[in-house]
């Protein structure tokens, strides 16, 4: 069975990717320092604790497992924190990724799947966001991801590192079988924050800005189910192992939901009120981020099946009520 090195495999998306990889016949080897991840989330293959910046440890892991590919999820990813602590983001996400990329190429592992983000696009009025949209990130998080995309291009030219870059829109939902789910501490993503407000584990959801140029004044985002997202990663891996060239794909559904619309949908899925307050805008947030691309469907054959808003909220709510990690 082929090994795939999954950095960040103890985190939200990486743990779902490990489950999908195992189901597809691969052995996912998680490499994670547990800064935001959970050992309990590593259920589908071996765990190797380590930091992206630790070249010797990475060399050892590449030598032990000889992976056919790297799926690189490990990163810090909170926009608010990136605005106040940009150095942490550049060091962890860019320097860390560079060390990983150097270790992979030195080990002859030349297939690389990278978690990028729609935050690399920044603010574009009335523009459909597809893979050719200029990348003008508004925050250090998006800038750090754009930088890694550029590093990958340089390493392809110099070392033959073929890569698939996925620019995710907002990822939501949880494994319908309840084995893994979203568990960030602190939680900053809208849907789980809303569910915490609903069950009283946090006082109220604060809406960051109600004066945006959108129909109801709140920011608009495109949401994709984590299981659909990781299915695309398995297709991206096959793309590379089939020998196809480096490619960038947006992963979103093309439908935008405002914060108020997500609150309304949560109320109707859970049958509970969503305590919320209205606050000022948060620095670094774009007004609207919605994918305008069908490339992943057309070229990878990606067919999202759980990415409706009620389904994503229902899956997240089930996990929120029944699942959590101890450590």
Question: Could you list the active site residues?
Answer: 141
Token reading at 59? 């060399």
> What's the longest Cα–Cα distance across the chain?
56
DSSP string over 151-190? HHHHHHHHH--EEEEEEE-EEE---TTSSS----SS--SH
Find, among 75, 116, 127, the residue nearest to 289 by Cα. 127
Residue with tokens 């189901």: 23
Q: Which of 3, 4, 12, 190 binds ligand NAD (CB under 6 A)?
A: 12
Token reading at 276? 């919320």
**Signed CA dihedral, 116, 252, 290, 248: sign only:** positive
The answer to whether residue 94 forms part of the interface with ligand NAD (CB under 6 A) is no
Min separation Cβ 184 and ligand NAD, Å: 6
The answer to whether residue 13 forms part of the interface with ligand NAD (CB under 6 A) is yes
The answer to whether residue 171 forms part of the interface with ligand NAD (CB under 6 A) is yes
Q: Which is nearer to ligand NAD, 10 or 205 (CB)?
A: 10
Stretch that binds ligand NAD, among 9-17, 20-28, 60-68, 201-209 (CB under 6 A): 9-17
Min separation Cβ 243 and ligand NAD, Å: 26
The answer to whether 274 and 190 are in contact (CB under 8 A) is no
Cα 151 to Cα 8, 53, 99, distances in angstroms: 19, 16, 11
Q: Which of 73, 239, 302, 317 binds ligand NAD (CB under 6 A)?
A: 73
The answer to whether 167 and 120 are in contact (CB under 8 A) is yes
Q: Three-class SS of residue 105?
A: helix
Stretch that binds ligand NAD, among 28-36, 148-156, 214-222, 292-300 (CB under 6 A): 28-36
Q: Which of 6, 20, 21, 52 binds ligand NAD (CB under 6 A)?
A: 52
Contacts to ligand NAD from residues 149-168, by CB under 6 A: 168
Min separation Cβ 75 and ligand NAD, Å: 3
Cα 75 to Cα 31, 108, 148, 270, distances in angstroms: 12, 23, 11, 31
The answer to whether residue 285 forms part of the interface with ligand NAD (CB under 6 A) is no
Min separation Cβ 93 and ligand NAD, Å: 8
Token reading at 211? 């004066």
Stretch that binds ligand NAD, among 33-41, 153-161, 285-293, 318-326 (CB under 6 A): 33-41
Q: Which of 4, 61, 71, 75 binds ligand NAD (CB under 6 A)?
A: 75
Q: Which is nearer to ligand NAD, 88 or 272 (CB)?
A: 88
Per DSSP, helices labelled H in 40-169 are 55-65, 79-84, 86-89, 96-106, 140-159
The answer to whether residue 291 forms part of the interface with ligand NAD (CB under 6 A) is no
Stretch that binds ligand NAD, among 3-11, 149-157, 190-198, 300-308 (CB under 6 A): 3-11
The answer to whether residue 37 forms part of the interface with ligand NAD (CB under 6 A) is yes
Residue 106, H or E segment: helix 96-106
Q: Is the peptide bond before 186 cis (omega within 30 degrees of 0)?
A: yes
Q: Which is nearer to ligand NAD, 255 or 272 (CB)?
A: 255
The answer to whether residue 142 forms part of the interface with ligand NAD (CB under 6 A) is no
The answer to whether residue 70 forms part of the interface with ligand NAD (CB under 6 A) is no
Q: For ligand NAD, what does the binding mask look like between residues 227 and 246, x meaning CB under 6 A?
A: --------------------
DSSP β-bridge partners for residue 70: 5, 112
Cα 12 to Cα 7, 227, 321, distances in angstroms: 12, 11, 16
The answer to whether residue 10 forms part of the interface with ligand NAD (CB under 6 A) is yes
Q: Three-class SS of residue 221?
A: strand
The answer to whether 24 and 17 are in contact (CB under 8 A) is no
Residues that bind ligand NAD (CB under 6 A): 7-8, 10-14, 32-37, 51-52, 73-77, 92, 96, 115, 117, 168, 170-171, 184
């Amino acid at each position: 069975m082929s090994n795939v090195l999954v950095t960040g495999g103890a985190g939200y998306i990486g743990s779902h990717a490990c489950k999908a990889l195992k189901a597809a016949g691969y052995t996912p080897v998680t490499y994670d320092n547990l800064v935001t991840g959970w050992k309990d989330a590593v259920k589908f293959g071996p765990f190797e604790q380590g930091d992206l910046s630790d070249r010797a440890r990475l060399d050892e892991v590449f030598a032990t497992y000889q992976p056919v590919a790297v799926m690189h999820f490990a990163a810090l990813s909170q926009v608010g924190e990136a605005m106040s602590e940009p150095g942490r983001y550049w060091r962890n996400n860019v320097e860390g990724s560079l060390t990983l990329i150097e270790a992979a190429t030195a080990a002859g592992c030349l297939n690389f799947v990278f978690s990028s983000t729609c935050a690399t696009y920044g603010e574009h009025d009335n523009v459909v966001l597809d893979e050719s949209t200029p990348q003008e990130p508004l925050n250090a998080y998006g800038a750090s991801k754009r930088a890694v995309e550029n590093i990958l291009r340089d390493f392809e030219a110099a070392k033959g590192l073929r890569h698939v870059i996925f620019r995710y829109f907002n990822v939501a939902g949880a494994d319908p079988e309840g084995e893994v789910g979203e568990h960030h501490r602190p939680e900053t993503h809208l849907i789980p924050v809303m569910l915490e407000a609903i069950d009283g584990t946090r006082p109220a959801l604060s809406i960051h800005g109600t004066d945006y140029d959108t129909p109801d004044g709140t920011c608009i985002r495109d949401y994709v189910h984590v299981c659909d997202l990781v299915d695309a990663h398995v297709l991206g891996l096959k793309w590379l192992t089939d020998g196809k060239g480096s490619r960038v794909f947006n992963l979103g559904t093309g439908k935008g939901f405002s914060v108020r619309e997500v609150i309304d949908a949560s109320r109707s899925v859970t049958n509970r009120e969503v305590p919320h307050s209205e606050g000022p805008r948060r620095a670094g947030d774009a007004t609207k981020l919605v994918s305008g691309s069908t490339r992943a469907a057309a070229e990878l054959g990606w067919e999202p099946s759980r990415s409706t808003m009620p389904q994503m909220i229902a899956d997240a709510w089930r996990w929120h009520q029944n699942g959590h990690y101890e450590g």
